[in-house]
Amino acid sequence: MIGNWSGTPRSTLRKALRSPSAPVTYGLIALCCLVFLVGPGSGLNAAYGTGDELLAAQRAYFRRWGVVPAELFEGAPRAALTPATALFVHGSWVHLLGNMLFLYVFGALTEERMGRVEFTLFYLGCGYLALLGYAAANAESSQSLVGASGAISAVLGAFLYLFPRARVTSLLPFLFFLPLRFPAWVVLPFWAALQWVAAGQAAQGPGVAYLAHLVGFGLGLGYAWARFGRRTAGVVPDSGTG
């Protein structure tokens, strides 16, 4: 899950709310929510039982649809699909809602800038490669990895390149969570640096997929640079206040 800072560019959010031109972003959010609600992670589907039975069902579900690095590189065709299926599976309500918040805010304008088909391929391709990169770095792990964090990190990377001067309201713990506004070119690289530090300090084996965040962010930034060059939006309208 993408964390460590929270907030949205207000003008970005206003434009995203007004814009009907991001059906892929909204469709991805709806699909992720639907998959979560009908799966065992939500705890709302009575078919999976309760207590220990539910926990066992969750472990089996995540293992089936998530990325298990040790199985991925054994060459099984089913395992090769898991970096794609894992993008639509989330482990908890906090995991789901955190990811969907960032996709909702940053995805709409990124999709509008790229176009529907390109954004779809960008999201799925970068998400797949981000999880693949994480699995390669933890090739012997048998713990499953799920979530859209890698793909959404790619969206953040692309957003940084396309809208570097968009204002982001951030809550900084070391400043008593005071809401401060910074340009995206300050906040998003700072977020990426935190992921880098956390990835280096992470315990062995999967936990929070900080490395997938970094891979996704780098892919998104690199793609936007290669695809759009200097022809970027540069700034979101009305984003300079604050």
- Catalytic residues, by residue number, are 149, 213
Cα Dmax for the chain: 55
- How many beta carbons lie within 10 A of that of residue 7, not counting itself? 18
* Whole-number Cα distances in Å, 240 to 17, 24, 164, 172: 19, 28, 11, 20
- The candidate with the shortest Cα–Cα distance to 205, out of 62, 68, 59, is 68
188/121 Cα distance (integer angstroms): 23
Strand partners, 180: 170
> How many Cβ atoms are within 10 Å of 174's Cβ, its own excluded?
6
**Segments of the chain assigned E as strands:** 167-172, 178-183
CA distance 134 to 23: 29
C-alpha span between 218 and 24 (Å, rounded):
22
Tokens 């699995």 belong to residue: 135
CA-wise closest residue to 12 among 22, 3, 2, 4? 22
